């Protein structure tokens, strides 16, 4: 059974068509859906009114969105990539994580997160290839008042020194390379070894790549390591640390850099410390503090 048809007058014009389209959704039972559609229709009409597209331009837009959908499959989400390069993913992230001043800032998840990452022991290497200088990453997970969070979970993933995630080079990189699930110790501390990641381009072999090319935009993300930290009674945080020396910190293709997340990766020449961590000397060291906000109801997340 269909609801009532929109009662549009026969003589809708450039101005009145907007309110008619908004009114067509007035019987939407879900108030949130009704409100969002009304906002969306008003803003889309305002944009079209301002652009005054030709019919050919409208067709180009439809073709672009069609190609974006057609590029999607189980492992590729071109619509999310479009949202990323338009700054929308970052905006949604910011709206949903208006954080207290001390909590770690959240940033985009990105398409390379895997739910079946390998579980690893503290101190393990997440890099199974090891072509370059090793990098020790140490970290601590604490609550906003500084209390350590023993047993907190840390999910880590990164591109390698050439800028590739394992899933991008399945013939060369072992599955799970650059990834690990860790459980923090009794002091909320964790550590692992890896390689310093490289900056890399987001996927450009689809409509989003063509958009970047047509607009003279580069596709690069500055070098970073992704983290998701979880702890009982706290809100999980999805974030990155950015390599302080990396190019593109000021022009990330997906607008996800926050200065609080830029981290020094120091080169250390200290044979004693290197031996302590079972690393060749010299090595690189980065430290991250992941500060979580308590959740209102308690419980994990």
> DSSP label at 232?
B
Closest CA to 207 of 113, 77, 87: 77
Closest CA to 110 of 96, 88, 89: 89
- Scanning residues 73 to 102, which ones bind ligand BEZ (CB under 6 A)? 81, 84
Tokens describing residue 20: 């008619």
> In angstroms, what CA-CA distances link 141 with 48, 229, 295?
48, 8, 15
Tell me if 179 contacts ligand BEZ by CB under 6 A: no
Helix (H, G, I), strand (E, B) or coil at 24: coil
> DSSP label at 167?
G
- Give 134 or 209: the residue with its C-beta nearer to ligand BEZ: 209
Tell me if 112 contacts ligand BEZ by CB under 6 A: yes
Among positions 110, 178, 209, 222, the unique one binding Fe ion when judged by CB under 5 A:
110
Tell me if 139 contacts Fe ion by CB under 5 A: no
**Chain residue at closest Cβ approach to ligand BEZ:** 110
The listed partner (Fe ion, ligand BEZ, none) that binds 21, CB under 5 to 8 Å by sort, is none
Pairing of strands 283-292, 189-195: unpaired
Closest CA to 137 of 113, 120, 150, 149: 120
Q: Which segment (25-33, 55-63, 84-92, 106-114) binds Fe ion by CB under 5 A?
A: 106-114
Please, what is the minimum distance in Å from the beta carbon of residue 205 to Fe ion? 17
- How many residues sit in the footprint of ligand BEZ (CB under 6 A)? 9
Among positions 78, 110, 137, 231, the unique one binding ligand BEZ when judged by CB under 6 A:
110
Q: Which segment (27-35, 104-112, 124-132, 258-266) binds Fe ion by CB under 5 A?
A: 104-112
Tell me if 134 contacts Fe ion by CB under 5 A: no
The listed partner (Fe ion, ligand BEZ, none) that binds 84, CB under 5 to 8 Å by sort, is ligand BEZ
Tokens describing residue 153: 């979970």
Residue found under tokens 């944009």: 47
Please, what is the minimum distance in Å from the beta carbon of residue 226 to Fe ion? 6
Helix (H, G, I), strand (E, B) or coil at 58: helix
Tell me if 106 contacts ligand BEZ by CB under 6 A: no
Q: Give, in degrees to the nearest 5, the angle at Cα 217 between 212 and 219.
A: 70
Round to whole Å and give the CA distance between 45 and 250: 33
Cβ-in-10-Å burial (0-12, 13-18, 19+) of 257 comes to buried
- Scanning residues 183 to 202, which ones bind ligand BEZ (CB under 6 A)? 202
- Give 143 or 263: the residue with its C-beta nearer to Fe ion: 263
Q: How many residues does the chain have?
A: 301
Tell me if 219 contacts ligand BEZ by CB under 6 A: no
Tell me if 257 contacts ligand BEZ by CB under 6 A: no
The listed partner (Fe ion, ligand BEZ, none) that binds 228, CB under 5 to 8 Å by sort, is none
Backbone angles phi, psi at 72, to 5 degrees: -80, 140
Residues that bind ligand BEZ (CB under 6 A): 81, 84, 108, 110-112, 202, 221, 254
Binding residues (CB under 5 A) for Fe ion: these are 110
């Amino acid at each position: 059974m269909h609801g009532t048809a929109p009662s549009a007058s026969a003589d809708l014009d450039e101005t009145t068509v907007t309110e008619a389209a908004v009114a067509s959704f007035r019987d939407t039972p879900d108030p949130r859906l009704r409100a969002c559609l009304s906002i969306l229709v008003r803003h889309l009409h305002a944009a079209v009114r301002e652009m005054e597209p030709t019919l050919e331009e409208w067709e180009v837009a439809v073709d672009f969105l069609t190609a974006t959908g057609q590029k999607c499959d189980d492992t590729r989400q071109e619509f999310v990539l479009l949202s990323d390069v338009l700054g929308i993913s970052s905006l949604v992230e910011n709206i949903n994580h208006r954080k207290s001043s001390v909590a770690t800032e959240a940033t985009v998840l990105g398409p390379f997160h895997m739910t079946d990452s390998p579980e690893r022991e503290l101190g393990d290497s997440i890099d199974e290839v090891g072509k370059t200088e090793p990098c020790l990453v140490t970290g601590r997970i604490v609550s906003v008042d500084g209390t350590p969070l023993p047993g907190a979970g840390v999910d880590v993933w990164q591109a390698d020194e050439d800028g590739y995630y394992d899933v991008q080079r399945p013939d060369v990189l072992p599955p799970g390379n650059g990834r690990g699930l860790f459980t923090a110790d009794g002091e909320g501390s964790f550590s692992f070894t890896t390689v310093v990641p490289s900056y890399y381009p987001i996927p450009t072999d689809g409509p989003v790549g063509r958009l970047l090319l047509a607009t003279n935009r580069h596709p690069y993300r500055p070098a970073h390591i992704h983290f998701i930290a979880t702890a009982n009674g706290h809100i999980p945080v999805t974030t990155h640390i950015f390599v302080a020396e990396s190019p593109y910190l000021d022009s990330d293709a997906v607008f996800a850099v926050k200065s609080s997340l830029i981290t020094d990766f120091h080169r250390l020449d200290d044979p004693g410390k290197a031996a302590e961590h079972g690393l060749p000397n010299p090595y690189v060291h980065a430290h991250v503090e992941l500060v979580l906000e308590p959740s209102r109801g308690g419980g994990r997340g």
